[in-house]
Every structure is written in structure tokens, then in C-alpha cells.
Amino acid sequence: MLTFLLTVVLFLALVFLIPLALFKIKLARGIKRQQKQHAAFQAPELDTSPGVSSLTVLPLVEFHAAEPGLATEAGVSYLVTAGDTRILLDVGANEKGEHPSPLLANAKALGVDLNTIDALVLSHLHRDHVGGVPEEKEKRFSFSQGPFSMADLPVYTPEPLIGHLPQGCRPITVTEPREIAPGVWSLGPMGRSLFFMGYIEEQALAVHVKGKGMALIIGCGHPTIEGLLERCAALFPHPVFAVIGGLHFPIHEGRIKVGPVNIQKLVGSDRMPWNGLTEADVQKGIEAIKTTGATAVGLSPHDSCDWSLDRFRDAFGEAYTEVQVGRPITLAGHP
């Protein structure tokens, strides 16, 4: 009997401990790579004088909606209108593999013609931002699981796209901070090592609004809000006045779960599962934003739990804005 029990214990150790050890080694290597990238970064000389006088962010895909009838999911797609330029940030998750996708359905319901956008920016190549699981695996993206084409659309991505792309899309790999349009910049790829999901490069948008400063528009926030603010300060002489988007704070209830397991919390940090994200991390993020004096803050619910959203609402009061499908966030100019 003792021999049998020892065999069972040994078997369980082999099944669980060895894979866990391999994940830990992979995570440690990724963290080292992340630290090396950070240490090597040198801010390029940019002409940061161009700016816009109007800026609106319209969520087309999110976890919550402003009104019934709009599709919701744990994905992100924002239409960013900066002056005369219309930029789409990410294309959602299309969790059910639908056609039309939540992105196309919501765009139609809200009167948005996606064929009029000037550029697509992919924050990073995770499934909830590129249109699904196959897209993530094949390093590509899709607007929907059916025919949808564009006319010579530049697609800015922090990692090379190698899979089949929608007709008319022209991929451009972003290797450093660069101007996307007048007054609109990519902060450049920022690496983060994540438990289970591995190393990921993510970029965020920074928009210079004349007379106000910089607005950060973020997909998932894997580089952390502290890292994003540091990068922005290194690139621009203008203060940050707005932070809108995902910061990945699924502290108590994630939006993506397997049974009772909060998968988002487990896989979305550079820590082992038992040392995962905490309430203290949310408070640190809030304090980092407060130091900027930001007058507009909106936390995406797609990768942050309701508890985290409540903390942000309490912390920023009238400066806080809900990030919901169909609810325009006007950061400058008239609604």
C-alpha cells in the first residue's frame, strides 16, 4: 500500500511540478529579456509639436454597453478620432466566431463606416484584440469570420503578422516609437513576460491635444501603467491629461474564466500564480495616474473586474468616465 501511495505521489509530482518548473524557467527568461529591453531603450528624437484640437474615443467592442442591443464581449476595439484622422485600435475578440462579428454589428448599429478609417493599430497579438483564437495562433487578425475587405489600409503592429490578412490590409511592423498620423504616436513596442502566455510586445497610442497635453489610449496595459507613463514622459514634453483603456486588473473576478478559475488573473502578470495581481497593484496604478494630474480617466472592463472599476471611480470622481460600447468619450473639442 505504501509503495502504491509513493507511486501516486511521484506521478502527481511529475505531472504538475515539472510543467510548473518549465513555466517558471520560461517566465524568468522572459523577465530577463523584458529588463534588457527596458535598459536598452533610448528615446528617439521626435517632432512632438504636432497636435490636434479635437479627440474622441468611441468603444466599438467592450465588455459593457451603454445601451441594449449592442454586442458585448471580453475584447476591445476603439475608434479614435483625432482631428481629421480616424484610427481603429484593435478589432475585438469575436469569441463566438460570428459573421458579422461584434465589431461589424456594433459599427453598423452606431453608424460607423469602417471603410473610412485611415489606419488600424493592433495593440498586441492576443486573441481579444485580433479577432479570435486562430488569429492569435497564426499571428494575424480578422474583422469578422466572413468576407470583409478594406482599400489599402495600413495596419500598425508591434510584432510581424505572418498569417493571411483581410484583403486590402497593408501590415507595418512598429519597431520603435513613431508618428502614426499628425499628433498621434505609437509609444513603440514594450515587452512583458506573462505566466503561461509567454512574452508579448504591446504598443499604446499617445495623442497630443493642443493646450492640454497627451492622451494615452491603451489596449490591455500589459507593460503596466507605470511603464507606459514612464515611456510617455521619455518621449514627450507634454503632460498626460487622459488615460483611457485596459490596464489588466482582474483582481477578484476575471472576464474570462474556466469553471471557477479566474484565468485572466493567472495568465496576465509576470508572476507565478500564487503571487499574482493584488489589490495593492490597483492602488499603485491609481497613484501613478494621479501623479500626472490627469483630468480624464476611463478603465476598460474587458480585462479589469468590477471591484477594480469601483476603485477607479472612487479615486477619480468627476474625472472618471465609463468605457462602454456606444458611449463616446470626448477628450477635446465638441461632442
Domain ranges of the chain: 41-332
- Rounded to 5°, angle at Cα 226 from 222 and 229: 100
Residue 108 banded pLDDT, cuts 50, 70, 90: very high
The three cell numbers locating residue 39: 535598459
Lowest average pLDDT, out of 8-22, 129-143, 146-160, 279-293, goes to 8-22
pLDDT of residue 20: 73
For 29-43, 47-61, 122-136, 255-269, which range has the lowest pLDDT when averaged over its residues?
255-269
The contacts of residue 131 (CB under 8 Å, 6+ apart) are 91, 92, 93, 94, 101, 103, 141, 142, 143, 144
What pLDDT digit, counting tens, does each position of 151-195 carry? Answer: 899 999 999 999 889 999 999 999 999 999 999 999 999 999 888
Chain position carrying cell 465609463? 322
Task: Tell me the pLDDT band of 136, cut-offs 50, 70 and 90.
Answer: very high
Segment 64-98, tens digit of pLDDT: 999 999 999 999 999 999 999 999 999 999 999 99
Q: How many CB atoms lie within 10 A of CB 169?
A: 19
pLDDT, one tens digit per residue, over 222-240 is 999 999 999 999 999 999 9
The whole-number pLDDT of residue 5 equals 64
| pTM listed for this prediction | 0.93
Pick the CATH number of 41-332 from 3.20.20.70, 3.60.15.10, 3.20.20.80, 3.30.930.10: 3.60.15.10
Q: What percent of the chain lies above the pLDDT cut of 90?
A: 73
Strand partners, 208: 214
The sign of the torsion formed by the CA atoms of 279, 283, 284, 288 equals positive
Q: From residue 165, how far is each of 81, 138, 211, 216 by CA, in Å?
A: 24, 10, 39, 27
Instruction: Name which of 47-51, 86-90, 93-97, 292-296 the model is least confident about.
Output: 47-51
- Alpha-carbon distance of 167 to 152, in angstroms, equals 8
Per-chain mean pLDDT for the chain: 92
Q: What cell does 279 get? A: 489589490
**Nearest alpha carbon to residue 146 among 209, 184, 96, 198:** 96
- pLDDT in the model for residue 14: 62
| Chain mean position to CA 183 | 20
